[in-house]
Amino acid sequence: MNEIKNQRVINFSLSFIYLGLVSFFIEHLPLPFIIMLSVLCGWNIYLTLKHKQKPNAWLANGLAVVALIIMLSSIGFKDTVVLFVAMLLLSCVFKLLQAKTKQHYQLIITLTFFSLSAVYLFSQTIFTTLIISTLYILNFAVLGLLESSHSLKLSSKQSAKIIFLAFPLAVVLLIFLPKLPAFWQLPGPKMAQTGLSEQVDPFDIAKLSNSDELVFRAKFDDNSVSTPYYWRAIVHDEFDGKAWKTSSFLKQAMMLPTQNSSNGNTTQYSIIAEPAMADWLYGLGYASSNNENVVSNSVGLLRKKQYKSKVLQYSVSTKPLSTKKLNSVEQRFYKTLTVSNNQKSYQLAQQLKNSSANADELFNKLLDYFSQNSFSYTLTPTPMRGDDTLDQFMFNNKRGFCGHYASAAAFIFRSAGVPARVVSGYLGGEHNQNNDYITVRQYDAHAWVEVYTNAGWRIFDATAVVAPERLNGSLSQSAALNDEFKNNINFGLVSLSNYAAINWLRLELENLDYQWSSWVLGFDKNKQQDLLASLFGNTYVWLVPLGVIIVLILSFSAYFIYINRPKATTKQPPLVKEYYQILSWANKHTINYPENATPIQTLQHISQQAPYAEQQITAFCHLFEQVRYARQPFTKERKNQAKDLIKLIKSIKQRNL
């Protein structure tokens, strides 16, 4: 019972599954660890292919210790989720390398069901789902192989069949079972971070690493919001001479919940944010949200309440920035400059201040300054070092991206005694016509300045005058920067968007992904309640659990009947069915025939007793002889002929009666 019938195939398939699994973690686990896992899988495949013995316990245990050291040194203990996944993968791969008995393999396969699900913590795209589902079917097939000596193909077919049958029921459960709140809070995996960061320090970046990774999508209920869209995510209020940071004072201020004064004109829209490690969310202007998973704070920013490895959909109501008034303490806070470097920029600020009457005039003068002094926008700036990076940028290089302009402008405003802060987030987004939503990707990341003038907070974006096309739409749609942008971006469909067909394909895939995020990944408690209410009305919602139970019982009964259905008996040789039809016809008309005669003899006997059908029966006899004894092919014509003869025989009797 313990010997395994298909050990090679099982070994091979499991190694394959783990290779597939490892490939999903390339981005999230350190490279040495990934290489080590791949080598172990490869080794296992090699041993299997070459019919070699698995390594003995000493060698394997020694290797396991080495692997454990590699794992701990490359991953560390900081990120518990990644560490947990790494340990799971490592233990399974090692167990597989040593597995000999059926119990070993059963253990590995069971754990694989867990490892496969763990991939969804990191990635939930349609592509991932397809691959992982295939691996699930394969894993089930391997489980089946442990019990039988079928081929992998047959076993896969069986496992695909049972999963296919179970699929609709699982969907019903997912849709209708009440969504439970999280039992306890688990740490989230720390995913590779791209795009925004806690501090704006553009000067040592030589090349802005752009990725076309999706950040969020926004859907407006009406068209009341006009471009440009400045999606605010982080406010940086403290300049340390090089970088703009978020001060601890502001961090504390952001802990305070916002006073929900619902006066003024607000705009409503909803945002579907992709899972990300950072806790910031996105909104326009002074945003607030009623979503239970979202915290709105006093600076008008949105934050996640806790980590969720899923898409978060929330609705936002936005008020214009200018509605928020600062008191004198706050005004002083936003004027603070603790450093005294970048003297040239400071002097420029003083000049501008002296020549303008108020903050608004200064605002315009600085914009003019940027537009008239041959500044240019680039994604590949020259790195700057030293204590006076702002001066280098303002007076020597004059080439930079949003971060440079925002840092410099905010510094100049503060030097001139105007409250200002750097804000980072995303600008614009790609508008999708079909579903009327906006897609914002990592390459739309942007930084700008908010200045407090007499009219309240205003957005100051020097990029607007340096590269005006950057303001409207996404970077991918901006023609002037297109080439530079495409050189910069990783290979992807976006970089091929010049070709109409590919662009069409890209937008269609985009659309599909939107539906996926919105309906599958974003299907939460609220959506469930809405759906149930729309299906059954509010009064009968309590019936839903009962309905689910009934559906389950009915489905299981149906399945039970299905598997117990009478199986089709083995296929009869040709004309046997027709022969029995004649016999039953003879029985019906009380024509006796000998029990133990050959079919031809029986037929002849019948035809003698029923002379009125003799002709037809003889014809049938001929047919029978031809097909069954003379090995003539049983063509469609012969089949039809037989059918017609039977019909004739039956009808003749009726006429005679």
Give me the residues that bind other proteins (CB under 8 A), please.
1, 103, 106-107, 110-111, 113-114, 116-118, 120-121, 124, 129, 136, 140, 143-144, 146-149, 158-159, 162-163, 165-167, 169-171, 173-174, 177, 179-186, 188, 307-310, 520-521, 523-524, 556, 559-560, 563-564, 567
Give the Cα separation of 584 and 591 in Å (integer): 10
Residue 403: φ, ψ to 5°: -60, -40
Give the Cα separation of 657 and 654 in Å (integer): 5
Tell me the residue type at 556.
F
Give the Cα separation of 434 and 134 in Å (integer): 31
Alpha helices in 290-342 (DSSP H): 328-333
Taking the complex as a whole, the smallest distance from the CB of residue 272 to other proteins amounts, in Å, to 13
Taking the complex as a whole, the smallest distance from the CB of residue 62 to other proteins amounts, in Å, to 21
Burial class, 520, CB count within 10 angstroms (exposed 0-12 / middle 13-18 / buried 19+): middle
151: left (phi over 0), alpha (psi -120 to 50) or beta: beta
Taking the complex as a whole, the smallest distance from the CB of residue 584 to other proteins amounts, in Å, to 24
The nearer residue to other proteins, 167 or 504, going by C-beta atoms, is 167
Residue at token pair 């091979």:
12
Taking the complex as a whole, the smallest distance from the CB of residue 114 to other proteins amounts, in Å, to 5
The nearer residue to other proteins, 115 or 442, going by C-beta atoms, is 115
The nearer residue to other proteins, 16 or 516, going by C-beta atoms, is 516
Taking the complex as a whole, the smallest distance from the CB of residue 129 to other proteins amounts, in Å, to 6
Q: Which residues contact 602 (CB under 8 A, 6 or more apart)?
A: 583, 593, 594
The nearer residue to other proteins, 120 or 634, going by C-beta atoms, is 120
Q: Which DSSP category does 135 fall into? A: H
Burial class, 420, CB count within 10 angstroms (exposed 0-12 / middle 13-18 / buried 19+): buried
The nearer residue to other proteins, 561 or 630, going by C-beta atoms, is 561
Tell me the residue type at 66.
V
CB-CB contact of 374 with 398 (8 Å): yes
* Token pair of 148 as six digits: 């039988």
Taking the complex as a whole, the smallest distance from the CB of residue 327 to other proteins amounts, in Å, to 39
The nearer residue to other proteins, 315 or 609, going by C-beta atoms, is 315
The nearer residue to other proteins, 112 or 392, going by C-beta atoms, is 112
Structure-derived torsion over alpha carbons of residues 495, 500, 506, 508, reported in degrees to the nearest 10: 170
Taking the complex as a whole, the smallest distance from the CB of residue 99 to other proteins amounts, in Å, to 12
The nearer residue to other proteins, 31 or 563, going by C-beta atoms, is 563
Taking the complex as a whole, the smallest distance from the CB of residue 268 to other proteins amounts, in Å, to 24
The DSSP-derived string for 275-339 is P-SS-B--EESEEE---TTEEEBTTS-EEESS--SS-EEEEEEEE-GGGPPP-HHHHHHTT----
The nearer residue to other proteins, 357 or 568, going by C-beta atoms, is 568
Tell me the residue type at 224.
S
In 68-174, the DSSP E strands lie at none
Taking the complex as a whole, the smallest distance from the CB of residue 307 to other proteins amounts, in Å, to 8
